[in-house]
Amino acid sequence: MVQGPASFRRRLQHMIANCLAFCARWEERLKGLRLFFYLRLLLVGSGFVGTAVRAASRADWLGARPPIRFSDIPVVFAFGIVAMLFVIGIQAVNPWSAKVWLKPAWLANPFSLRQPCQSFHLGAWYFMASGLGAFVGRVLSHQPVNADVPFLFAIGIGVRVGLFLVEFAFRWKFADTPSR
């Protein structure tokens, strides 16, 4: 029997609703364990250590072609801000996102599809730690600090500033209680 587009759409909506309900149940069970704090700490720490080791080992450690220039840093910083406002703005009207969002926090689940700010919060800290790790790796190996190092940090700072502006621009979507 051939199914029409309406039947397929209903089945797809039902599957998505079941997946979201399953994730919400597991998120509630893991909330008191501080599991997400340690997971975030592990991921951010791995960004720091991994980038420090790689930056210390090779002169062209990032491998960007063409090479990154210092004039690219303000561009990527501004792009992070604009991208956050655009992407999270789309999610603010998404009917499948949570009705009320939590403010970005270290204790929240960074993989929740219903809380889009959490994954960008983790990504911002990852890039800032990577930039700091690259700086430490270059200094400890006595290599020059080129534009690749502040480039990573600028990405993280741009996304983090963008998240602050998202909290202001879409304050109607966020919970009143701070979750930091």
Whether residues 27 and 43 fall in one domain: no
Residue 66 is predicted with a pLDDT of: 73
Pair (95, 156) in one structural domain: yes
Whole-model pTM: value is 0.78
- Cβ burial of 78 (10 Å; 0-12, 13-18, 19+) is middle
**What is the number of H-type helices and E-type strands within the chain?**
5, 0
Give the list of residues 6+ apart from residue 37 with CB closer than 8 angstroms, or none: 106, 107
Residues 109, 116 contacting (CB under 8 angstroms) = no
Q: C-alpha distances in angstroms, 168 versus 25, 120, 121?
A: 30, 16, 15
Q: Based on the structure, what is the number of domains in the chain?
A: 2
- Residue 90 in tokens: 């789309």
Residues 113 and 138 both lie in one domain: yes
pLDDT at 32 over 70: no
**Residue 10 bridge partners (DSSP):** none
Quote the pLDDT of residue 3.
59
Whether residue 13 is predicted with pLDDT greater than 90 in this model: the reply is no
Q: Is pLDDT of 179 > 60?
A: no
Q: Which domain holds residue 110?
A: 34-173
pLDDT tens digits, 119-170: 999 999 999 999 999 899 888 888 888 888 899 999 999 999 999 999 999 9
CA distance 170 to 35: 28
What whole-number distance in Å separates Cα of residue 19 and Cα of residue 169?
30
Say whether both 40 and 71 belong to one domain.
yes
Rg of the chain, C-alpha, whole Å: 20
In a domain, 179, yes or no: no
On whether the CB atoms of residues 129 and 45 are closer than 8 A, the answer is yes
Q: pLDDT tens across 54-98, in order?
A: 887 776 666 666 778 889 999 999 999 999 999 999 998 888 888
DSSP state letter for 174: B
CB atoms within 10 A of CB 43: 15
Indicate if 22 and 59 belong to the same structural domain.
no
Residue 39 located in a structural domain: yes
